[in-house]
Amino acid sequence: MKILVINAGSSSLKYQLLDPATHELMAKGLCERIGIGGHIKHTPEGKEAYAADIDMPTHSEAIQAVLSLLVDPAHGVIKTVSEIDAVGHRVVHGGEEFASSVLIDDQVMDTLKACIPLAPLHNPANITGINACKAAMPGVPHVAVFDTAFHQTLPPKAFIFALPYEYYEKDKVRRYGFHGTSHRYVSQRAASLMGRPIEELKLVTCHLGNGASTCAIKYGKSIDTSMGFTPLDGLPMGTRSGAVDSGILQYLMDLKHLDIHQMLDILNKKSGVLGISGISSDFRDLDQAAAAGSERAQLAIDVFTYKVTKRIGSSAAAMGGLDGVIFTAGVGENSPELRAKILEGLEFLGLKLDPAKNNIRGKEAVISTDDSPNTIMVIPTNEELVIAMDTAKIVSQLKK
Ligand code: ADP
């Protein structure tokens, strides 16, 4: 089966064509500058990468460019578009409506539109991407896979904010959590690497990239997670503040004469490790700067790793125990130094890091010592593969 996976942003469209059964990636690429020009980077497996400026006033032209390249004699990997069995779409917010992936029909589209106020930056772009793909490939099933769905198993005590209850009941204000596809994938890989059923494991997954979140996964279900109503909550990130005392907002807005949009812009784009260090949102830059003596780069690293350490502890407390910790995404997969720093002092939770085994980047590995009571692992995330696998599963049920 060949599944096209689409991740549409407001001016971008990422894609992968892959076979979920064999995990074979056939091609991947990115359309950028949609609406303000148009550029495509296309990387077919076994052939040279290709890039070109192509006029893309809307996502429709972008998906047309993708389909043309996929069947192109020089740069393509399939003969005709009809070889694509289904399309899987990443959708950021499914609200409380979707606890798993779904086949997209008119009713699902209406529900996605109803979720727009919950994710005003992301869901409109996802919907535009779905509409463009449905128009370009009308006879093909389309499936939506949600960032929020995996966290729909959170119990009320974990998802209710201590605000007047009507804000939940009437206005849907609650913890939703994000990165669900990634947390689900790495926890399932972890269980299979450990050779134990996920139904008996208590795992903490740490998705540490530009965006960062942790998840407490008890017996295969998300029971708590660090991101909240929006992806701004929880850990400090590249440019996002993570959770801050909300009293700070009014103080700064009064002092600096900021409106709420300017304040949120600061919290989303100028904070996190960039804000603390004043140097960069990229941990590689921070490592270098800290090694060269920058105290603020070091402080940014210290604040970030301290918060992740605390989340591992609080997640273990929420689950009443711990069997394993998993690191994934850019930082989690590639930085032995940050992993070591996060795990410092956590031996009391049965987490003994093996420095030699920890010295790996970007591949699946157990990095705890042989006598560590609990397992520490690195598992590269693969959200596109999960989207393709969910899509294939839903489509094969249709055929029965
Ligand atoms: P996104 O959330 O955008 O998908 P990624 O998961 O790709 O982000 O993570 C990107 C981040 O990973 C970069 O900003 C960088 O800080 C970090 N990163 C990548 N490689 C390394 C490395 N070798 N050492 C430390 N950090 C790294």
pLDDT in tens, the chain (400 residues): 999 999 999 899 999 999 999 999 999 999 999 999 999 999 999 999 999 999 999 999 999 999 999 999 999 999 999 999 999 999 999 999 999 999 999 999 999 999 999 998 889 999 999 999 999 999 999 999 999 999 999 999 999 999 999 999 999 999 999 999 999 999 999 999 999 999 999 999 999 999 999 999 999 999 999 999 999 999 999 999 999 999 999 999 999 999 999 999 999 999 999 999 999 999 999 999 999 999 999 999 999 999 999 999 999 999 999 999 999 999 999 999 999 999 999 999 999 999 999 999 999 999 999 999 999 999 999 999 999 999 999 999 987 7
Scanning the structure block, which residue is given the tokens 């009320």?
156
Report pLDDT for 302. Answer: 98
Mutational pocket test of ligand 1: of 205, 284, 287, 337, the residue with most ligand atoms within 8 Å of the beta carbon = 284
Quote the CA–CA distance of 19 and 25 in Å, as a whole number: 7
Backbone angles phi, psi at 33, to 5 degrees: 60, 30
What pLDDT is recorded for position 116?
93
- Residue 274 contacts residue 282 (beta carbons within 8 Å): no
Q: Residue 328: what pLDDT?
A: 98
CATH 3.30.420.40 range(s) for the chain read 3-146, 195-383
The token pair at 369 is: 């010592």
CA neighbor of 131 nearest in space, from 110, 102, 158, 154: 110
What's the whole-model pTM score? 0.95
Q: What is the CATH number of domain 3-146?
A: 3.30.420.40
Please check whether residue 227 is in contact with residue 234, taking contact to mean a CB–CB distance below 8 angstroms: yes
Query: With a 6 A CB cut-off, is 329 part of the ligand 1 pocket?
Result: yes
Q: What is the pLDDT of residues 270-306, one digit of tens each?
A: 999 999 999 999 999 999 999 999 999 999 999 999 9
Q: SS3 for 113?
A: helix
Q: Are 277 and 286 in contact (CB under 8 A)?
A: yes
For residue 255, the CA-to-ligand 1 centroid distance in Å is 34
Angle at 46 between CA 45 and CA 50, to 5 degrees: 70
Tell whether the torsion through CA atoms of 392, 394, 395 and 398 is positive or negative: positive
Check residue 127 and give its pLDDT: 94
Distance 1 CA to ligand 1 centre (A): 31
Q: Is 238 in the pocket of ligand 1 (CB under 6 A)?
A: yes
Structure token pair of residue 108? 């699902």
Q: How many residues does the chain have?
A: 400
Closest to 349 in 3D by CA, of 308, 315, 379: 315
* Cα separation of the two ends of the chain: 15
Nearest CA to ligand 1 atom 13: 282
Q: What is the pLDDT of residue 399?
A: 73
**How high is the pLDDT of residue 181?**
97
Say if ligand 1 is within 6 A of residue 332 CB: no
Provide the CATH topology of domain 195-383.
Nucleotidyltransferase; domain 5 (3.30.420)
147 carries an active-site annotation = yes
Q: What is the pLDDT of residue 256?
A: 98
Q: Cα(116) to centroid of ligand 1, in Å?
A: 28
Residue 337 CA to residue 296 CA, distance in Å, equals 17
